[in-house]
């Protein structure tokens, strides 16, 4: 399995590896990245050369890299969608699975078009049968859908240790239930 993503993925990758001890998890994560940073990147190219059965991606909405050109709103979401479709096409026949993110306060998530993006885009592709979707962000949300203060860092964006653990556990539960375990 390739685990691809930004800082949210970086915070959960080691915990996910611990939750799935019989799985090979190739870590292709780096904070501050967007999907466009990974298209044609050697780390991803090398990981895909291993012919994984699964590519799990976790991105929250960064627009701070050169390839996003500081895109905001629908333009950022369109860029994310285009690049993730490209990555999943490159990864074929691997199955792609999107990791849903906790809903951020609109003041913090000002680059995205709505409070529940990119989750809405991820879910639309899952409904269409393009990708799987793990509502892992729900593991770090309150009953009203906001990011649980006790599971996030003071910046309001990143998981604290407890939030990362809850999210990694949710991802692992989904993968164990939805994916045939790898052969020993």
Reply yes or no on whether the pLDDT at 81 is more than 90.
yes
Specify the pTM. Answer: 0.93
User: Is the sign of the CA dihedral 33, 53, 91, 96 positive or negative?
Assistant: negative
Element at 97 (helix H, strand E): strand 95-99
User: Which domains occur in the chain, in start order?
Assistant: 2-178 (3.40.50.1110)
pLDDT digits (tens, 9 = 90+) for 92-106: 999 999 999 998 887
pLDDT digits (tens, 9 = 90+) for 47-72: 999 999 999 999 998 888 899 887 88
Residue among 76, 10, 80 at smallest CA distance from 39: 80
- For 108, the token pair is 């913090």
pLDDT of residue 171: 97
């Amino acid at each position: 399995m390739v685990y691809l993503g930004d800082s949210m993925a970086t915070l959960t990758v080691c915990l996910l590896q611990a939750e799935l001890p019989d799985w090979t998890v190739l870590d292709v994560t780096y904070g501050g990245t967007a999907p466009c940073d990974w298209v044609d990147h050697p780390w991803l190219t090398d990981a895909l050369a291993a012919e994984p059965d699964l590519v799990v991606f976790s991105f929250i909405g960064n627009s701070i890299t050169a390839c996003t050109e500081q895109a905001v709103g629908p333009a950022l979401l369109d860029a994310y969608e285009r690049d993730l479709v490209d990555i999943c096409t490159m990864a074929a026949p691997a199955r792609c699975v999107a990791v849903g993110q906790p809903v951020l306060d609109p003041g913090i998530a000002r680059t995205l078009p709505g409070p529940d993006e990119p989750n809405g885009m991820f879910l639309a592709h899952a409904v269409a049968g393009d990708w799987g979707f793990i509502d892992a962000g729900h593991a770090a949300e309150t009953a009203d859908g906001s990011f649980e203060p006790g599971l996030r860092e003071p910046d309001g964006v990143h998981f604290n240790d407890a939030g990362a653990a809850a999210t990694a556990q949710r991802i692992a539960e989904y993968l164990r239930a939805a994916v045939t375990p790898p052969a020993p």
